[in-house]
Amino acid sequence: MNNRDLSKYKRDIKQLQEVAVIWWPDELLKLSDRESIIPILLKSQDQFISILKLCHQSPEQVFEIIEAAKFPANLFLKHLVVLADYGGELSNSTKINVTVK
């Protein structure tokens, strides 16, 4: 591909604004509100933390507690993913050097 082919993609801000969707359409906002996991995570956060606190004997104990609490495994996993992502962001921002042996 040569530079001549790319010329149609070079636009300034004004040209981009003329063709871009700068906001979400109402129907997409409504769908996002219905499908968002955030309200579910916020509602179940205390139960998730309680399950973690009860697993003080061994990490494998978590499976028994999740089952006994009838806490959905996929929701528990989503909490862990959010927690892991937050941890990654935090360690990236603090610039801590870790040496693994």
Distances (CA, A) of 66 to 12, 21, 43, 52: 54, 43, 16, 10
Condensed to tens digits (0 to 9), the pLDDT of residues 53-72 reads 898 888 889 999 999 999 99
Separation of alpha carbons 25 and 23, rounded Å: 6
53-74 burial code (b ≥16 CB/10 A, e <16): eeeeeeeeebeebbeeeebeee
Condensed to tens digits (0 to 9), the pLDDT of residues 1-35 reads 555 667 777 878 788 778 777 777 788 878 877 77
Q: Range with the lowest mean pLDDT among 15-29, 36-50, 62-76, 84-98? A: 84-98
The domain segmentation of the chain, as residue ranges, is: 3-94
Can you spell out the DSSP letters for 44-90?
A: HHHHHHHHHHH--S-TTHHHHHHHHHT--HHHHHHHHHHHHHHHHHH
Q: Residue 82: pLDDT band by 50, 70, 90 thresholds?
A: confident
